[in-house]
Amino acid sequence: MSHYIPENLPGSIQHFIDGQFVDSIGGETFDVLDPVSNESYVKAAAGQKADIDLAVAAAKRAFDSGPWPRMLPRQRSRILHTIADLIEARDQRLAELETFDTGLPITQALGQAQRAAENFRFFADLIVAQSDDTYKVPGRQVNYVNRKPIGVAGLITPWNTPFMLESWKLAPALATGNTVVLKPAEFTPLSASLWAEIFREAGVPDGVFNLVNGLGEEAGDALVKHPDVPLISFTGESRTGQIIFGNAAPFLKGLSMELGGKSPAVVFADADIEAALDATVFGVFSLNGERCTAGSRVLVERSIYDDFVARYAARATAIVVGDPHDPKTEVGALVHPEHYEKVMSYVEIGKTEARLVAGGGRPDGLPTGNYVAPTVFADVSPDARIFQEEIFGPVVAITPFDSDEEALELANNTRYGLAAYIWTNNLKRAHNFSQQVEAGMVWLNSNNVRDLRTPFGGVKASGLGHEGGYRSIDFYTDQQAVHITLNEAHSPRFGTGGQ
């Protein structure tokens, strides 16, 4: 099958440091593959400690003596709105590059590009409208909160929806007046290189945005351990998060970590079953299943279980798998051969643990590329590896339950706690169950529809801290309390011999 390649791909992918595109100091590079042919289409600069040092030094200079942190919020807001305009104007190109680099279906990549623009608009508005607390003791004291940007923020982003997730960190970090060093995932560096041109065109001063490509063990590690980077925002695997936590500890850095998930979707017999099917099929197979909030464990009440499983399997079997650039494609190619092997190994494990009702291997007619047929396992026991471990691909586990108590126990029976999806028309059950489920975010009778004002984050192994809305402003600023006395300051008099 012929394979679509976008026009005008770069000849190489470089770092962007202090307003300049540069190679690694030592000339190190790594190969970037496209997930349909699995062939290298470009070499990217592989950042080492020396490159991170340069980028952090540039960001620190821009923070200590540049105009960015000193601008009025409205000035920064105008630039952020211009960034959003530029992203929207380039959304087709962005989506095309993202799809080529990640294997995401083109229609979903386009939605992610538009969401990236909205992230910048949201924080551009928020910093202008932002209010800070004042506390009055009438006639005695006024106390107010003075927010200040913190310094150089280290942003480490994943490969599943790279450009959108980069925007999620870049927008609040820059809106609040910090400078940044971005280290994108090594599997998918292509779209990140567009930020440099967008920011330059929008009027972001040199040194405010710096980009260093490379491996997590090299560039990411150097960024986390750099003494002049007081903040690290990381999205990725829980195990990597633990390593970052340990490496940041000696510096007492601010950490925001959105990690893995194994989120339950709980379907009660009184739910709107057609709507629940739509949402639970989309919830695990959209973005190729490579999403941290995927509802990858579907828990179904026993009285509707057999019918639900049959209908779910029929839907999964009919999903259109194919060329990521085809608008009809619903599931594209997984990001990288390493990840493909991991997902396929879980498919094989699942065959020994549960009943396979759809998929279970490579789809017909796609002999090459990282394609996995949407795979559904039923009758999955709670101690099965496919019930407990994050697969991060188009694979779902379906398990029956008999009572509300059992449903809650199953939902909470995992080390993760990112999202949960509850399907019921019983109002009391909906709220009681939601409040008892161990998840940072709950959706009732809907799929993952995000309001950018709400806190995004997980509990247990799914993360540390929250971003979104004012929580992002909190993370990227220091809150300094300033106290003013309005009358005589009556202090106890020490050292006066009681006079």
Nearest to 203 by CA among 340, 121, 300, 83: 83
The strand pairing partners of 221, in sequence order, are none
> What average pLDDT does the segment 425-442 reach?
98
User: Each residue of 285-300: pLDDT tens digit?
Assistant: 999 999 999 999 999 9
- Residue 23 in any domain: the answer is yes
Do 99 and 172 lie in one domain? The reply is yes
70 burial (CB, 10 Å; 0-12 / 13-18 / 19+) is: exposed
Do 64 and 201 lie in one domain? The reply is yes
Do 354 and 398 lie in one domain? The reply is yes
Phi and psi angles of residue 333, each rounded to the nearest 5 degrees, phi first? -100, 140
- Residue 457 in any domain: the answer is no
- Residue 490 in any domain: the answer is no
The Cα 145–Cα 409 span in angstroms is 43
- Mean pLDDT rounded to a whole number for the chain: 97
Model pLDDT, residue 387: 98
> What average pLDDT does the segment 222-243 reach?
97
User: Each residue of 437-446: pLDDT tens digit?
Assistant: 999 999 999 9
Counted domains in the chain: 2
Model pLDDT, residue 2: 63
The Cα 23–Cα 43 span in angstroms is 11
Residue 179 — pLDDT band, cuts 50, 70, 90?
Answer: very high
Other residues' Cβ atoms within 10 Å of the Cβ of residue 402: 11
CB 416 within 8 A of CB 458: yes
468 pLDDT higher than 90: yes
Do 155 and 16 lie in one domain? The reply is yes
Model pLDDT, residue 174: 98
389 burial (CB, 10 Å; 0-12 / 13-18 / 19+) is: middle
Do 54 and 174 lie in one domain? The reply is yes
Model pLDDT, residue 489: 82
Percentage of the chain exceeding pLDDT 70: 99
CB 366 within 8 A of CB 322: yes
Domain that holds residue 58: 12-259+462-482
Do 303 and 240 lie in one domain? The reply is no
DSSP state of 130: -
Residue 3 — pLDDT band, cuts 50, 70, 90?
Answer: confident
Do 197 and 272 lie in one domain? The reply is no
Do 301 and 197 lie in one domain? The reply is no
- Residue 453 in any domain: the answer is no
CATH number at 114 reads 3.40.605.10
The Cα 52–Cα 215 span in angstroms is 12
State whether the Cα torsion 194-200-206-207 is positive or negative: negative
Do 471 and 390 lie in one domain? The reply is no
Question: Which residues are marked as active site?
Answer: 258
499 pLDDT higher than 80: no
Do 237 and 290 lie in one domain? The reply is no
Nearest to 149 by CA among 227, 249, 82, 76: 76
More confidently predicted of 244 and 488: 244
- Residue 489 in any domain: the answer is no
319 pLDDT higher than 80: yes
User: Each residue of 337-377: pLDDT tens digit?
Assistant: 999 999 999 999 999 999 999 999 999 999 999 999 999 99
- Residue 115 in any domain: the answer is yes
> Which residue intervals of 180-272 are DSSP H helices?
193-202, 221-224, 238-248
- Residue 491 in any domain: the answer is no
CATH number at 400 reads 3.40.309.10
The strand pairing partners of 456, in sequence order, are 467
Do 198 and 235 lie in one domain? The reply is yes
- Residue 289 in any domain: the answer is yes
Q: What does the block give as tokens for 103? A: 């294997």
Model pLDDT, residue 315: 98
User: Each residue of 23-37: pLDDT tens digit?
Assistant: 999 999 999 999 999
166 pLDDT higher than 70: yes
Do 166 and 284 lie in one domain? The reply is no
